[in-house]
Amino acid sequence: MSKIIVVTSGKGGVGKTTSTAALGAALAQQGHKVAVVDFDVGLRNLDLVMGAERRVVYDLINVAQGDAKLHQALIRDKRLPNLFLLPASQTRDKDALTEEGVERVINELRSRFDWVICDSPAGIERGATLAMRFADVAVVVANPEISSVRDSDRIIGLLDAKTVHAENGERIEKHLLLTRYDAGRVARGEMLSVEDVLEILSIPLLGIIPDNEEVLRASNVGSPIVLHNAACAPARAYNDAAQRLCGVDLPMSIHSDQKSLFRKFFGRRAA
């Protein structure tokens, strides 16, 4: 069983790349063979967050256009031997990707990996629609604020219209990953609550990633958060989310480093 995940959001800067790296590393730690694929052609970042920027030779475009073999372009992670990165090209633009090329690369990845996680560019244009095109599962990343939630809603509409699964009359599995969640600000009414976001988007919740400075620190040193500091709240939240992707039924909790203060459990599993 091999699954293609697209991590998408519509809006930029909500945490797609961080989440791709974290979910990829968490799934790999659980023993799965994982490839993370950067679809943000021209503005690649996943290589930095994965700490592989000094080892990029070939990229997604080279493979899609047949200039390089997939195994030449895949970069094996130094920490986890079953985690691989397929980087994007920084010098090309998104028009260099064709649907046929992407389909070929995805099919080849599908035959070699348990999980293929595609990091979508922001926006709703070609790059984003190609990243979602062949996905089986969508992880929709949103921050608890209205502009992000509305953009995510737009993306959900596109997932239901423009993916291969949708065009074949099937439903694409969609999950919400709520990032940059600050329980204190929600309590003060400065952020949307989990209930508000779920009510608007009406898709199942995959996880709540608390806002935490460790996330920025991890991406600055080029390490997925779950490898950088496995004990911190966001790392635990990403580990939970990765387990839920594998079908494990965990209670939804908002992880916190100050357990006594904010620990809250939600009785429900997802809408």
| Interacting residues toward other proteins by CB under 8 A | 124, 146, 150-151, 153-154, 156-158, 160-162, 167, 199-200, 202
Nearer to other proteins, 124 or 252 (CB): 124
CB of 177 to other proteins, least distance (A): 18
CA–CA distance, 90 with 68 (Å, rounded to integer): 16
Nearer to other proteins, 147 or 220 (CB): 147
CA–CA distance, 125 with 132 (Å, rounded to integer): 11
Nearer to other proteins, 167 or 170 (CB): 167
CB of 161 to other proteins, least distance (A): 6
CB of 189 to other proteins, least distance (A): 15
Cβ atoms of 21 and 36 within 8 Å: the answer is yes
Nearer to other proteins, 50 or 130 (CB): 130
Helix residue ranges, H only, the chain: 16-29, 46-49, 60-64, 70-73, 99-112, 126-133, 146-162, 164-167, 183-187, 194-201, 213-220, 225-228, 233-245, 259-262
Nearer to other proteins, 161 or 248 (CB): 161
CB of 229 to other proteins, least distance (A): 36
CB of 159 to other proteins, least distance (A): 9
* Three-class DSSP category at 3: strand
Torsion angles phi and psi, residue 74, rounded to 5 = -70, 135
CB of 2 to other proteins, least distance (A): 25
User: Kind and range of the H or E element at 1?
Assistant: none
Conformational region of residue 245, where left means phi above 0, alpha means psi within -120 to 50, and beta covers everything else: alpha
- Tally Cβ neighbours within 10 Å of residue 208: 24
Nearer to other proteins, 74 or 149 (CB): 149
Nearer to other proteins, 19 or 129 (CB): 129
* Three-class DSSP category at 112: helix
CB of 154 to other proteins, least distance (A): 4
User: What does DSSP assign to residue 121?
Assistant: P
Burial of 251 (0-12, 13-18, 19+ CB in 10 A): exposed
